[in-house]
Structure 1
Amino acid sequence: MKYRTLGKTGLDVSVIGLGTWQFGGEWGQDYTQLEVDDIFEKARETGINLIDTAECYGDHLSEEFIGRAIEKDRDQWVLATKFGHQFHGLYERTRHFKPEEVQQQLEDSLRSLRTDYIDLYQLHSGVGEEFDNDKLWTMLDKQVKEGKIRHIGLSIGKNDNIYQTNKSSEIGSEAIQVVYNRLDRTPEEEVFPSCEDQNLGVLARVPMASGYLSGKYKPGATFAENDVRHRHDQEETRRKLATVAELEKNEVPEGVPMAQWALAWCLKHPAVTCVIPGCKNPEQVESNAKAAELEMVKTNHPQATV
């Protein structure tokens, strides 16, 4: 495993992280604690140390699984979670960004994660007054001073949200989480340059484009009703999978699994600190971790035409 410093946080994180939305039950599978424990045991073996979760992956369900899985060695992990939403059922959320609501979410997350502190606490796709709220950031700064939060970050909902990115340092944010993958390179235009200027860590989420870049799915693939991809626009999905087939033919080196190539491709960009792919089993964790070994030269990533 390789490690990079997460911007101005000073935290050394594995370049391959562990995304955990799937533990909330919205990716076609429900989990047992034993299954989650096995995933984390494999993460330990491979050197992965960054976990990304959220309060609304289930009603703190993902956090609860994680809390039990890492309780024995909590200090060995960089634990990132998010705030701003409440889970009410499959794909049903309400928004809660008022300072008192977020403070309660923080306490609930600490309890679910069985920890006294969160390494990176991220605003989860907040917009408008949800973001532009001095009282919120004052409250969170107080939590930092009390030691319940070590660092604040932004998980931006739109991957061209340059307004929030530019204001990160002003409101105390030290990291940006953003959608970035071979099919969606929008952050390269403005978000990444701003992150580099401010020395913000970057967590690239959806690095395999919701699994479409895994190489497992061909045009015409369908998904179960309890899989979030069932809700994606079918024509858009068809178009993406057709593009993936072209990428596999023209860009993926022979003998390299496409999923590993997709992760390593993201890590080529100098702004990216860590990718946070999801995983459904220990085998996928091990495969993801191997992407750190691929030697892919860093580049400024000129825009492609596909």
Structure 2
Amino acid sequence: MSLTLDTYRLLGRSGLRVSPLALGAATFGTESGWGSERAESRKVFDLYVERGGNFIDTADTYSAGSSERLLAEFTRQNRDSLVLATKYTTLSRPGDPNSSGSHRKNLFSSVEGSLRRLGTDYLDVLYLHVWDFTTPVEEILRGMDDLVRQGKVLYVAISNSPAWQIARMQTMADLRGWSPLVALQLEYSLIERTGERELIPMAREMGLGVLPYSPLAGGVLTGKYTRDDLTPANIDPADGTRKSFNVALGTVTERNLAIADVVQEVATELGHSPAQVALAWTLRTPGITAPLLGARTPAQLEDNLGALDVDLTDAQLTRLNEASAIDLGIPHSLLASDHIRNVMRGDLKFETRG
């Protein structure tokens, strides 16, 4: 069944309505060595909004702040119709120890900076971007709640953090009447499924919408890489391209290319692009609210939006799942074993609901 960008979904345990595909604006600006100039970024933004999309994702340090500054210009006429999400915690001023981290000083400074760059009075969603392992959770939650009470932030969320810390924060927020987390952002794709061990089940149980970033694994699932790219000597790590970045990260492996091969096979069967198939798999995974699209050009975005029209069969889903399957590890593999089922249930039969 086809979806559309204006077939909205609720963001976690909130009443906020968001599109089923979010537009990631990390590619807006070229200060990071890759990305899109202003004119191209504007075309990408306009195409997304014209199709009914309303969910825009950025961060305070994307393209050294250019991403937020460009969005200020692009959203000037329709700010209140859009859901703008940004993030804090990454280093903004090298040499300044308090210009990074989750603590209250950086939280308030980062939000004020984002408000200025975005040209808005409020942020729809604010993420803690990266867990810092030093700031007490009470300090984070109280600071976020203060910003919500001031009206500068409407909803708070989290990214790149341990599942047990997120669960702890959500429980504390509920008990103390502080603003709860409504969303979790994590890397998730056919190539990176380890979030299925703890993060995604935790999010579903604790009321957080799940927003996968890098759903195409940096382009590996689009079919642009070959076995030649397995040899680092063929890639210049200093050329500043996304390809060299992915090779340096170790994303281009035999396993990942084998998964990409299955994606290509399914795409050929359906008459869709590999990117559309990979996104459709993520989009239709239980618990997923909205994958983030990081298109650099209107043509890339147009292709990505075609994922809304992909109808994967049960057999195709099984092939994709089996090709990319991971070991869930302890305790999950133990709890799913026949031995544990036998000692826990014996011959008893249960019907589960919901």
SS in 2 for 1:103: helix
1:1-306 equivalences in 2 (<5 Å): 1=4, 2-25=7-30, 28-29=33-34, 31-87=36-92, 95-130=100-135, 132-157=136-161, 161-169=162-170, 170-171=172-173, 172-221=180-229, 222=235, 225-233=239-247, 236-239=251-254, 242-254=257-269, 255-296=271-312, 304-306=322-324
Contact 1:58/1:87, CA 8 A, preserved across alignment: no
Deviation of 1:148 after TM superposition, in Å, equals: 0.6
Q: Which runs of no fewer than 5 residues in structure 2 stay unpaired?
A: 174-179, 230-234, 325-354
**Structure of higher RCO (CA pairs closer than 8 Å, 6+ residues apart):** 1
Tell me how far apart the structure 2 counterparts of residues 3 and 13 of structure 1 sit (CA, whole Å).
5
Deviation digits for residues 15-69 of structure 1, max 9, x if unmatched? 1111121224366535432222211110112222111111111221111111111
Letter in 2 for 1:258: P
Deviation of 1:106 after TM superposition, in Å, equals: 0.2
Contact 1:176/1:200, CA 8 A, preserved across alignment: yes
Tell me how far apart the structure 2 counterparts of residues 247 and 290 of structure 1 sit (CA, whole Å).
19
Query: Could you state the TM-score of these two structures normalised by the residue count of structure 1?
Result: 0.87
Residues 87 and 239 (structure 1 numbering): CA distance in 2 closer, same or farther, change over 3 Å?
farther
Tell me how far apart the structure 1 counterparts of residues 163 and 142 of structure 2 sit (CA, whole Å).
22
Residues 142 and 183 (structure 1 numbering): CA distance in 2 closer, same or farther, change over 3 Å?
same
Contact 1:120/1:151, CA 8 A, preserved across alignment: yes
Deviation of 1:305 after TM superposition, in Å, equals: 4.8
SS in 2 for 1:211: helix
- Number of aligned residues: 298
Tell me how far apart the structure 1 counterparts of residues 39 and 323 of structure 2 sit (CA, whole Å).
44
Q: Which has the higher strand share?
A: 1
Deviation of 1:113 after TM superposition, in Å, equals: 0.7
Task: Choose 1 or 2 for highest CA Rg.
Answer: 2
Percentage identity across paired residues of the two chains: 30
Deviation of 1:197 after TM superposition, in Å, equals: 1.3
Deviation of 1:302 after TM superposition, in Å, equals: 9.8
Deviation of 1:249 after TM superposition, in Å, equals: 4.5
Which stretch shows the higher mean deviation, 132-141 or 66-75? 132-141
Tell me how far apart the structure 2 counterparts of residues 78 and 231 of structure 1 sit (CA, whole Å).
30
SS in 2 for 1:18: strand
Tell me how far apart the structure 1 counterparts of residues 193 and 305 of structure 2 sit (CA, whole Å).
22
Q: Which runs of no fewer than 5 residues in structure 1 stay unpaired?
A: none
Deviation of 1:240 after TM superposition, in Å, equals: 5.2
Contact 2:218/2:246, CA 8 A, preserved across alignment: no
Tell me how far apart the structure 2 counterparts of residues 87 and 49 of structure 1 sit (CA, whole Å).
27
Letter in 1 for 2:140: L
Deviation digits for residues 261-306 of structure 1, max 9, x if unmatched? 1111001112000000201111222222221222347989996354
Please provide the CA RMSD for this pair.
2.6
Tell me how far apart the structure 2 counterparts of residues 107 and 148 of structure 1 sit (CA, whole Å).
9
